[in-house]
Amino acid sequence: MAMIVQEKNKGEKIPYAVKGSKITFDDELMVNVQRFERDDPAHIDICRDRFGNLVTGVIPGYAERYVAQIDIPARAYTETVIDAEFKAQPMDKEGTLILYEEDMDKEEPGGGASGGEVTE
pLDDT tens across 19-73, in order? 999 999 999 999 999 999 999 999 999 999 999 999 999 989 898 888 999 999 9
Q: Kindly tell me if the per-residue pLDDT of 82 is higher than 70.
A: yes
Q: Could you give the angle at the alpha carbon of 44 between the alpha carbons of 39 and 49, nearest 5°?
A: 160
Which comes out higher in pLDDT, residue 118 or 78? Answer: 78
How big, in percent rounded to 5, are the helix, strand and coil portions of the chain? Answer: 5, 25, 70
Rounded to two decimals, what is the model's pTM?
A: 0.60
- Asked if residue 72 belongs to a domain, the reply is yes
Range of the domain at 30: 11-104
- Asked if residue 62 belongs to a domain, the reply is yes
- Asked if residue 5 belongs to a domain, the reply is no
Domain count within the chain: 1
Nearest to 9 by CA among 58, 79, 66, 54: 66
- Asked if residue 27 belongs to a domain, the reply is yes
- Residues ≥6 apart with Cβ < 8 Å to 74: 38, 39, 40, 41
Query: pLDDT grade, residue 84 (50/70/90)?
Result: confident
- Asked if residue 44 belongs to a domain, the reply is yes
